[in-house]
Amino acid sequence: MQTIYEAAGGNEGLLRLACAWHGRVMADEIVSHAFSHGFDPRHSERLASYWAEALGGPTTYSATLGDETSVVRMHSGNGQHQEMDRRAIACFDQAMTDIGLIENVPLRRVLHDYFAWATTTTMARYHHSADDVPEGLRIPHWSWDGLHD
């Protein structure tokens, strides 16, 4: 069975999606606040690599860029932000349309479910302090049936 990574177009497809999403969030007055303190100029490439690993692709992110602990820490200690999360998810859904992911309903659904889950659970779990994030977290893997770990 084809992985989500493969169905989404591999590294190239996920990079297109990450770039489209990043462009959308930077234009959003609420979500862009998350980037107001700056961001890595390779943010889209790093994000695409992270998504690739989570969606059944190569383990490049964890092998060269960091682990789940480092990712979650970047997103932690900012208080609760449900409105920002909702808008980030809406930007993701629109980014899928922007890159032409319109007719593949099962792929859109699973990508939406993954992004919404990651945004509202793992990335929002430690809203009090990044110091609360435990060491040794592994990147969760998502399959056509949902969380696979």
Q: Which tens digits make up the pLDDT trace of 27-48? A: 998 888 776 676 778 989 999 9
Residue 49 sits in a domain of what CATH number?
Answer: 1.10.490.10
Domain count, the chain: 1
What per-residue confidence (pLDDT) applies to 25?
92
Core vs surface per residue 50-86: b (16+ CB within 10 A) or e: bbbbbbbbeeebbeebebbbebbbbbbebeebeebbe
Among 11-25, 44-58, 111-125, which stretch is predicted with the lowest mean pLDDT? 111-125
How far apart CA 10 and CA 114 sit, in angstroms, is: 16
Core vs surface per residue 103-113: b (16+ CB within 10 A) or e: eeeebbebbee
Q: Which tens digits make up the pLDDT trace of 57-89? A: 999 999 999 998 777 667 554 646 688 889 999
What per-residue confidence (pLDDT) applies to 96?
98
User: Is it the case that residue 91 has pLDDT exceeding 90?
Assistant: yes
Domain that holds residue 18: 4-147
Q: CB of 59 within 8 A of CB of 49? A: no
Grade residue 123 by pLDDT with cuts at 50, 70 and 90: low
How far apart CA 82 and CA 18 sit, in angstroms, is: 21
What per-residue confidence (pLDDT) applies to 39?
74
